[in-house]
Amino acid sequence: MSAPAAQVEDAGRDVTGPAVIGLIVALPAEARSMGMRDTRPGACVRWHEGWAAVSGTGPYNAMRAAERLLACGVTRLANWGVAGALDADLAPGDLLVPDRILYAHGDPGFGVDPDAGARLAAIFAGSLRVRRGALWSVQQPLASQADKRALAARSGARAVDMEAAPIAAVAARARLPFVAVKAICDPVTREVPRSIAQTIGDRGVSMRMLAAIVLGGPSAWHAAHALARDFARARRTLAAAARLSAA
């Protein structure tokens, strides 16, 4: 089965081998770090061992991208991207290979493919600072240190994102294996001005965010500089992980 022609374009190597991987990344910048040539949100493109989609940020966009990839005939789903730390042991540029995806208190969440997770962690560990543990998916960005520490205390999760849980849910419904790889872009100690956190667009930076930064004064300027610096570190980690996994 193939996806609708308007949504599918050939932008990489032909699929080889029995496993057809469907990879979802949220942001075009993340996709470019991993060597994708077509980074337009919404399109399903050929990439390495299967298909890839740039979803845009947030759970709804991630779920829709995963469902589009199912129509391409994928046999497993993966989510690569960035995440914020909930654990003080995680610093920008570190890599988390989650062993469980959580999204609600009292809910067991979703497991990940244990063999794939362990294999990826072992591949990355020789060159990158790799950690295992739970990843928590939220509906909206966590902006304050207090909110992040409170979630960590309640959940035991080590990092937070917005896309992994809905993708894992699609995989679970389709009875497909799932794995996630997250580069840390935000330490638990960071306070992100709400004017910035609340204006994140589907592609990350939006015109509203730029306006909030420009009009926010020195505190917003310093926060934006730190966010950009650490996002660049996370992108370099994703690029290194992509090279290692393809070797």
Taken in order of first residue, the domains within the chain and their CATH numbers are 5-246 (3.40.50.1580)
Residues 44-97: tens digit of each pLDDT: 888 877 899 999 889 999 999 999 999 999 999 999 999 999 999 999 999 999
The answer to whether the CB of 140 falls within 8 A of the CB of 64 is no
**Secondary structure of 51-88 in the HEC alphabet?**
EEEECCCCHHHHHHHHHHHHCCCCCEEEEEEEEEECCC
pLDDT at 13: 32
Alpha helices in 71-163 (DSSP H): 114-125, 145-155
**Spatial separation of the C-alpha atoms in residues 8 and 4, rounded to whole Å:** 6
**Spatial separation of the C-alpha atoms in residues 8 and 18, rounded to whole Å:** 20
Residues 171-180: tens digit of each pLDDT: 999 999 999 9
Residues 94-131: tens digit of each pLDDT: 999 999 999 999 999 999 999 999 999 999 999 999 99
pLDDT at 21: 93
Does residue 214 have a pLDDT over 70? no
Residues 160-201: tens digit of each pLDDT: 999 999 999 999 999 999 999 999 999 999 877 666 555 555
- The single-letter code of the amino acid at 15 is V
Q: What is the mean predicted confidence (pLDDT) over 132-150? A: 90
Does residue 12 have a pLDDT over 50? no
